[in-house]
Amino acid sequence: MLSVMIMLSGCSLLPIEEDSLQPPLVEPNEEQLNLVEASKGTIQTTLRGTANFVSSKTETLSFKGLGGRIKSVNVALGQKVVAGDLIAEMDTGDLDLQTRLQRLNVERAELFYKQALSAGANEIDLRLREIDLEKERLSLKSMEERLAQSRLYAPFAGIVIFAEQLKTDDFVNAFQSIITIADPESLQLTYAATETKELQALEVGMPANLKYKGVEYTGKVLQTPSSVPPGSDPAKSERNAMTIIIGIDDVPGDVQVGHSAEITIPLQQRENIIILPRSAIRTYMGRNYVQVVDGERRKEVDIEIGLTTSTEVEIVKGIEEGQQVILNN
């Protein structure tokens, strides 16, 4: 009996389990939407980038005959040259000496011909002298042509903007580019785009604003991809499709080939059109759309876009003026 009573009284010492509390009811916060009102305005597209000064008058020199070994290269990268300077020479053995000896042979044949003519030689003897003279002249012409093909001369005064790294006895192929000379007085700017669509709106004659060393200059577009006639060289055609050429009205006195300038070219402008920030445009699987406020709900609306800048987009179709558009933050 005592044990049973102790056991019963022990149970009363355990803590009484309390009922679990229900979580308090919390009303959800109302969603805060970042809205923008579709409004009318003006949009202006602009091409901006960095263009490089290049010479409009350049020439790349190469040996036009057979390949051979280099005897000497007489200029270095960045060196100034004048018209007629010997730029590079190919080793031709004793061809120079043979050419000088052949000039003497031509002179000797001319003297024999004149002697026969003044002595009243008969027709056959005179013709034989004439044939000898013609043979010597043809040999001299061939030697001089070979000698000329073995030497490269500066075609005009300029600066060396490319020089192949060659030393004596190095072998070069025919038509291999050896030296490029540019006229530093005939400068223009070239801009290479990353995508062809950047240049689609450009036309020859468009005004261009330039900034070189913090100073503003003006110029105009001289060449666009659409103004270049088609060519047979695929590499050159591909380069022309991504490049424009810009002329500068007053070339800075201290500018050099290879220097760069910031360019700004106004392209297309449209007025009184619906404009939205680019952050309002959503894209999925090639579809352009926006979200608008429709009462208490969001609503997706497909749109057609026109001109696009770095911050704004022209809305051609899908949105009316005054509609509240949700920004895509």
Using a pLDDT cut of 70, give the percent of the chain over it: 90
Q: Check whether residue 286 and residue 238 sit in a common domain.
A: no
**Of 29, 46, 15, nearest in space to 266 by CA:** 46
Q: What is the pLDDT of residues 248-258, one digit of tens each?
A: 998 888 898 88
Residue 279 included in any domain: yes
Mean local confidence (pLDDT), 296-320: 90
Average pLDDT over residues 90-110: 95
Q: What value does the mean pLDDT take over residues 211-215?
A: 93
In a domain, 1, yes or no: no
Domain end point (choices 268, 286, 311): 268
Pair of tokens at residue 311:
């911050």
Q: Are residues 233 and 252 in the same domain?
A: yes
Would residue 25 count as lying in a domain? no
Residues 162, 75 share a domain: yes
**Does one domain contain both 281 and 189?**
no
282 and 203 in a common domain:
no
Average per-residue pLDDT in the chain?
88
Residue 17 domain flag:
no
Q: Are residues 200 and 247 in the same domain?
A: yes
Residue 140 lies in a domain: yes
CATH code of residue 176: 2.40.50.100
Secondary structure of the chain as H, E, C letters: CHHHHHHHHHHCCCCCCCCCCCCCCCCCCCCCCCEEECEEEEEEEEEEEEEEEEECCEEEECCCCCCEEEEEECCCCCCEECCCCEEEEECCCCHHHHHHHHHHHHHHHHHHHHHHHHCCCCHHHHHHHHHHHHHHHHHHHHHHHHHHHCEEECCCCEEEEEECCCCCCCEECCCCCCEEEECCCCEEEEEECCCHHHHCCCCCCCEEEEEECCEEEEEEEEECHHHCCCCCCHHHHHHHCCEEEEEECCCCCCCCCCCEEEEEEEEEEEEEEEEEEHHHCEEECCEEEEEEEECCEEEEEECEEEEECCCEEEEEECCCCCCEEECCC
Note whether residue 320 is domain-resident: yes
pLDDT value of residue 236: 84
Q: Does 302 fall in a domain? A: yes
Do 163 and 235 share a structural domain? no
- Both 258 and 196 in one domain: the answer is yes
pLDDT tens digits for range 72-93: 999 999 899 999 999 999 999 9
What CATH number is associated with residue 191?
Answer: 2.40.30.170
pLDDT at 171: 95
Q: Is residue 22 very low, low, confident or very high in pLDDT (cuts 50, 70, 90)?
A: low
Whole-number pLDDT of residue 295: 83
71 and 162 together in one domain: yes
User: Are residue 195 and residue 53 in the same domain, yes or no?
Assistant: yes
Considering the domain architecture, whether residues 139 and 162 belong to the same structural domain is answered as no
User: Any idea which of 12-26, 186-200, 273-287 has the lowest mean pLDDT?
Assistant: 12-26
Could you list the residue range(s) of the whole structural domain that residue 303 is in? 35-43+271-326
pTM beyond 0.95: the answer is no
Per-residue pLDDT averaged across 134-150, rounded? 94
**pLDDT exceeds cutoff 90 at 150:** yes
| Residue 282, domain CATH | 2.40.420.20
Q: Which residue, 268, 286, 308, sits at the end of a domain?
A: 268
Kindly state whether residue 252 falls inside one of the protein's structural domains. Answer: yes
Query: Do 242 and 260 fall into the same domain?
Result: yes
What percent of the chain has a predicted confidence (pLDDT) above 90? Answer: 65
Q: Which residue has the higher pLDDT, 1 or 293?
A: 293
Q: How many domains does the chain have?
A: 4
